[in-house]
Structure 1
Amino acid sequence: MRRVLSTGELTLEGQIDSASNVTLVCQAHLDDATVRCVYKPVRGETPLWDFPDGSLAGREVAARLIDQALGWDLIPETVLRSEGPAGAALGPGMVQAWIDQPDEPHTPEPVEIVPADEVPAGYIPVLRAHDADGSVVALAHDGTDPRLRQLAVLDAVLNNADRKAGHILIDRGGRLYGIDHGLTLHTEPKLRTLLWGWAGSPVADDQRGDLAALGELLISASELSTSLRSVISRAEIAALAERAAALAGGQLLPFPPGQRAIPWPPF
């Protein structure tokens, strides 16, 4: 799949209009293989005050490289290309494998807004608010899915500033993935997520072992560290290594900061 995404011919299907950055749906063709994918050109990235301009595509690629090194496979295959679909003239960008979702949505979804007294069994309430009609509602996420909890750990490692509900997908086989990792890997604490239900809890022992191995790769002359240096800064790699080492050493999952703990909009 990676070879198809990296070198296959891209043909344009359409555009996701709801995305904050230009996001095109494409087909990548190589020999007899075809992979549906999304292409996000660097030129289509919305400038942000706290992330360097033109850096989001590289951060998406870095997040996948880190996920792959951990062996968790929570992020779809992601590559950086020099050009998008023929004729689009949009230049370099990120290409990521498309996740096919079932026609009928997963019930309940990994993250739900429900009446405060109707939180599904096994779900962890994260916050309460008033709906438009004044009724009290709760935002809650599944507390039983091990991959969702693993995604919360990965977000802490990546310093993900944008874990919205719509960035958590479940494919036709029931497997959970996380997408949209452009706002990650900042050197300053930026964690904004809807998955705060495990705040203050320990990381599983096997995941701590994976994180320790990741930390060793990051501080050595490994293929991973070399690849990361092509898409994020040395300071960002050093901060990543510190986060991985801290969680591997027993640090608990972080608590929400005093402000800006939830991405906006959350859905």
Structure 2
Amino acid sequence: MSGRELTLLTEGSVELVGQIARSSNETFLVQLSHGDDTAHAVYKPEAGERPLSDFEPGLYRRERAAYLLSEFLGWGMVPSTVIRDDAPLGVGSLQWFIDCDFREHYFTLAAEDPATHPDMARMALFDYISNNTDRKSGHVLRGGDGRIWGIDHGLCFSAVFKLRTVIWDFAGEAIPAALLADIAPLAYAVPAEVAELLDDDETAALKRRVRRMLQEGTLPVDLTGMRYPWPLV
């Protein structure tokens, strides 16, 4: 997280701009202001969460945990995300807004630009270890600088394995040694700042998933053909 992003996300005033359409939970575009500096962010308040039978309220904590996990790994694939309790609709996550062409998403990028494949394969690994239940194609963005980002991680880290993703093109491929080295520390210890956002069963399950990837050395395969989110985009 750059200094500017940190200042705006943690100290900036938050003004609602509008609600983001077609989101399962109430999600808002907000403007952050600190002095003369402004930027946009995505705000997900707990008050706007739809009740779920398999996730406790507080999905915003999982958004923050996914960001922290990505940063711990050094992968930088989740936009800067903080938790604010003084936002307009109460406590929730604020995530730095990624300027991009929203006509692009995983399916178009993977098909049209092979240069994105290493980043997509790495995201597949991230989704496995974080147990992402909702990696839709539209949750993969390419920023204006060409960088690949993953967004919308509120349904991650369940202790029960429930991976659902559209990124299966790299299933069975060998995981590069450098990525295995990145995840290895998680096999027996989850960073405290991530663990405090999850419960004990969830952190234990995260470690088990990492150990499995280290043992198998290949990206997961969906033997059922059913581990897809809906809608796909």
| TM-score of the two chains, using structure 1 as the length reference | 0.79
1:111–1:141: 8 Å Cα contact kept in structure 2? Answer: no
2:116–2:148: 8 Å Cα contact kept in structure 1? Answer: no
Tell me what 2:121 maps to.
149
2:106–2:138: 8 Å Cα contact kept in structure 1? Answer: no
Per-residue deviation at 1:198? 1.5
Tell me, yes or no, if structure 1 residue 174 matches structure 2 residue 178.
Answer: no
Match of 1:28 among 28, 32, 42: 32
1:110–1:141: 8 Å Cα contact kept in structure 2? Answer: no
Per-residue deviation at 1:50? 1.6
Tell me what 1:100 maps to.
99
CA distance in 2, matches of 1:92, 1:74: 24
Per-residue deviation at 1:29? 1.7
**Unaligned runs of at least 5 residues, structure 1:** 113-119, 124-139, 219-223
1:78–1:95: 8 Å Cα contact kept in structure 2? Answer: yes
Tell me, yes or no, if structure 1 residue 110 matches structure 2 residue 106.
Answer: yes
After superposition, the Cα gap between the structure-2 partners of 1:142 and 1:236, relative to the gap in structure 1 and judged at 3 Å, is farther
- Stretch of structure 1 that moved more, 236-245 or 158-167: 236-245
**SS of 1:197's equivalent?**
coil
Tell me what 1:266 maps to.
232
Tell me, yes or no, if structure 1 residue 46 matches structure 2 residue 45.
Answer: no
**Unaligned runs of at least 5 residues, structure 2:** none
Tell me what 1:70 maps to.
73
CA distance in 1, matches of 2:79, 2:116: 22
CA distance in 2, matches of 1:95, 1:251: 35
CA distance in 2, matches of 1:195, 1:102: 20
After superposition, the Cα gap between the structure-2 partners of 1:93 and 1:257, relative to the gap in structure 1 and judged at 3 Å, is farther
1:164–1:266: 8 Å Cα contact kept in structure 2? Answer: yes
CA distance in 2, matches of 1:180, 1:10: 20
CA distance in 1, matches of 2:23, 2:35: 31
**SS of 2:38's equivalent?**
strand
After superposition, the Cα gap between the structure-2 partners of 1:249 and 1:40, relative to the gap in structure 1 and judged at 3 Å, is same
CA distance in 1, matches of 2:188, 2:176: 19
| TM-score of the two chains, using structure 2 as the length reference | 0.90
CA RMSD of aligned residues (A): 2.2
Kindly tell me the number of residue pairs found equivalent between the two proteins.
Answer: 229
Q: Which amino acid aligns with 1:68?
A: E
Tell me what 1:205 maps to.
177
CA distance in 2, matches of 1:264, 1:11: 31
CA distance in 1, matches of 2:49, 2:83: 14
Tell me what 1:243 maps to.
209
Tell me what 2:197 maps to.
231
**Cα-to-partner distance string for 1:113-160 (whole Å, 9 max, x where unaligned):** xxxxxxx9x74xxxxxxxxxxxxxxxx996852111111110011111
Tell me what 2:59 maps to.
56
CA distance in 2, matches of 1:193, 1:20: 16
CA distance in 1, matches of 2:232, 2:52: 18
2:141–2:148: 8 Å Cα contact kept in structure 1? Answer: yes
Q: Percent identity?
A: 36
CA distance in 1, matches of 2:60, 2:211: 25
After superposition, the Cα gap between the structure-2 partners of 1:30 and 1:144, relative to the gap in structure 1 and judged at 3 Å, is closer
In terms of fraction of residues, the more helix-rich structure is 2
